[in-house]
Amino acid sequence: MDREFNRESLQAIYRMLLEMAKGNFDFQIECTNRHDELEGLMLLLNLTVQKLKKNRNQFLWLNKDREFVKIQTACFLLDSDYRIVHFQSEMEYLKEKFENLPEGEKFSAFLTEESKNQWSKSIINLKDKKQWFLILPLNYSFQKSLQFSLHSVIAKVTCKKSEFYLVYSSQPNLEQNNLFNVPEIKSNDTISIWDQQLFQDIHSYIENHLEKPLISYYDLASLFNTNEHKIKVGFKEVYGLTPFQLHREKRIERSKILIANTDLFLTEIAEKMGFSTYPQFSKTFKIITGISPRTYKK
């Protein structure tokens, strides 16, 4: 019995690690009441993927004006008895599970027990025309001991006196390394949405004024109608850098683009990026990149 349990759980762990490597953080391993090392490993893995998912969401919010995110979708067409009559998906792991389904399978058969109960209660509102559509986080049972959660929209469609239901599930598809480098915000729950918007506005201001020295904390506070302390502490808490550190890194980042893609002299680039002298530019460039501008140009 123990060996069977271990094999199923290890298969779930292997699959979850594979999906994590692809940037999919919507899987969770179903834990049991056993108190052994394997159970501890599964709990740790679930906590890790939850933290990565939180970082992903944080990354998307903080970079909503600068990042393009591909959305993967899955669509189920159900008949009036909620049986699957058609399925289409861009998600490989869903294709693997649903493409060769026997005809007439109930949609709820592929949900976890918790989601089955939620589905049964919510779908009544659609059937009785109390709502036009539903938005639910559905937990799909992928294989034994493994499940994944997808935000889903369920809508009722009437065609020639027949009722159908569309279940549209989606998830972001991120394969960017910088997702894993997002600084953890330990006090994320205490930072209001207004302060997060404030820090994003300051971030945008910095990126739009790289060609000149950054104004002082006092002037930043006056410009954004806030106080210096909030900018000094809160901005770094969100972005992992002070405004001046971010300004310096972004200037060098843009300088690298100019060096690689233009015929400008290094002295011209230094002047264009607002450095008072070339030695100051060269020193800052080396601090950030580890090499001099001349070496980078070669």
Query: Global pTM?
Result: 0.48
Question: Strand 27-29 and strand 146-159: pairing?
Answer: antiparallel
Report the distance separating Cα 23 and Cα 9, nearest Å: 21
Pull the structure tokens for residue 48: 């890790």
5-43 pLDDT, tens digit per residue, is 566 666 777 777 777 766 677 777 777 777 777 677 777
Task: Yes or no: say if 16 and 27 are a contact pair by the CB < 8 Å rule.
Answer: yes
All domains of the chain, ordered by start, with CATH? 2-62 (1.10.8), 70-173 (3.30.450.20), 186-297 (1.10.10.60)
Measured between alpha carbons, how far apart are the two ends of the chain, in Å? 64
Task: Yes or no: say if 180 and 56 are a contact pair by the CB < 8 Å rule.
Answer: no
Pairwise pLDDT comparison (2 vs 243), residue with the higher score: 243
Secondary structure letter of residue 36 according to DSSP: S
Name which of 18-27, 128-137, 230-239, 271-280 the model is least confident about: 18-27
Report the distance separating Cα 156 and Cα 154, nearest Å: 7
78-126 pLDDT, tens digit per residue, is 888 888 888 888 777 777 777 777 777 888 888 888 888 888 888 887 7
211-225 pLDDT, tens digit per residue, is 888 999 999 999 999
